[in-house]
Amino acid sequence: MKRTVANPSTLPDCSLAEVASGIRTGSISPVEVTEAVLARIAKLEPSLNSFTTVTADLARAEARQAEQEIARGHYRSPLHGIPISLKDLCFTKGIPTSSGMAMYRNFCPDYDATVVTRLRQAGAVCVGKTNMTEGATIGYHPDMQRPVNPWHPDYWSGVSSSGSGVAAAAGLCFATIGSDTGGSIRFPSAAAGITGLKPTWGRVSRHGIFPLGQPRDTIGPMARSAEDCAIMLSEIAGMDVNDPTSLTADVPNYAAQLAGLHGARGVRIGIDRQFNFSESDEEVVNLIEAAVSALQEIGGIVNAVKFPDPVALRGLSSSVSKVETALSHETTFPARAAEYGPALRELLFQAAAVDPLDMGRVLIAREEFKGALNHLFTGIDLLLVPVFAKQIPQWRVMADNPTVTVPWVFKFTAIFNHAGVPSITLPCGFTELGLPVAFQLIGPHLSEALLLRVGHAYQQATDWHMRRPPVVRDADQPAPAR
């Protein structure tokens, strides 16, 4: 296979869709693109800590197999021969799956998670497992490395899918898998300046995924564009007999629908500016308002709405989170409490003190919010909210007591996990410090096709998703002549 790219070191900066097109037509080699990604990993990973395990030998073998299959005319999917990564809570047969926990660093499952099986069947090339917080909670185990934000090392890279966000932003893979229980696809996507899709709860199987809060855990793609996320979602979504909570709805070809119905034209987008911006930085407000204007310019119809802010649910959600987390660790806690990091250990001890009546109140508040949100969607197609109300916080702030020092962080994320509705995170600019800013579009159940279509239309009119962080620009510079 011949390659049309003049400088192979820049192949990792292309979109998944671009590389897939080249592989399909024979102008790009799966082996060559995999080697380019592995070279990028070797160069940048020591300073980014985005992986717990790099599976270079496996990736090379899968790339060779993909190249041979395609040469024989057996082209599996747009992911065939594409280097991707997996969050380290996706079970991988014979490959360590730590879930961010020191006690599981050497745990090798004896089966693949369903999402892994589907990616393998699509012909994807796995370059490694991405780093994450302990047990997918908010903090890192002190014996595990934390991923470094490629835009600015002093600032947060998001919550548990942080390694996935860093890897995608830095070109260490073309797409990756994240999970989201309270914001863990959306936070890292926003912090890394990439696109993330949190699907409807149950749209993607959770079989073989280390749980955090099972009634809210959601698996989804993270990549550099809505188009790339659409390609991923088409392959991983769908009913799974091993996960009785997976949805039976047909899975469309999301990528094929991106240009349908004139993009964003005529789509009703609701905004509650009082809810969105009452605690925001002016810089963030201005960038999100510019995104609103861009959506209007491509035909979106922006309507002022009153968002049903679930104050009671927001106030009580920590109670149910603690109990659900405790259930996920009941076989190892408190029996192995000494092996836990201090943050997760303290959270699990607190679970025992949760008032059962608070649990009941959460269930009631959850149903009331879901009903109010469903009613809101009778008058609009999508809802626009920020991801962060302010500029991304610094690492040292998040390492202290984030629920006290930055209570605004979860305002726009966790409530939508309780409702089980899908969301797409889209980059919309940068602060004066060079930190990414993003917004979310929220849709009703199973509206992923619409979210991806509007997100793609927005990204055809803007170029924020095409910006690359400083570490990547430095990596792309040719080596000095000797």
- Residues serving a catalytic function are 87, 160, 184
Are 305 and 380 a contacting pair, CB within 8 Å?
A: yes
Distance CA 232, CA 192 (A): 19
Which positions ≥6 away from 79 have C-beta within 8 Å? 16, 20, 119, 122, 123, 124, 231, 232, 235
What the block records as the tokens of 104 is 């599981």
Are 303 and 296 a contacting pair, CB within 8 Å?
A: no
Distance CA 374, CA 314 (A): 18
In one-letter notation, the amino acid at residue 164 is S
Cβ count near 461 (within 10 Å) = 13
Of the CA atoms within 13 Å of residue 373, those in its CB half-sphere come to 22
Are 242 and 207 a contacting pair, CB within 8 Å?
A: yes
Which positions ≥6 away from 241 have C-beta within 8 Å? none
Distance CA 161, CA 142 (A): 17
Are 104 and 98 a contacting pair, CB within 8 Å?
A: yes
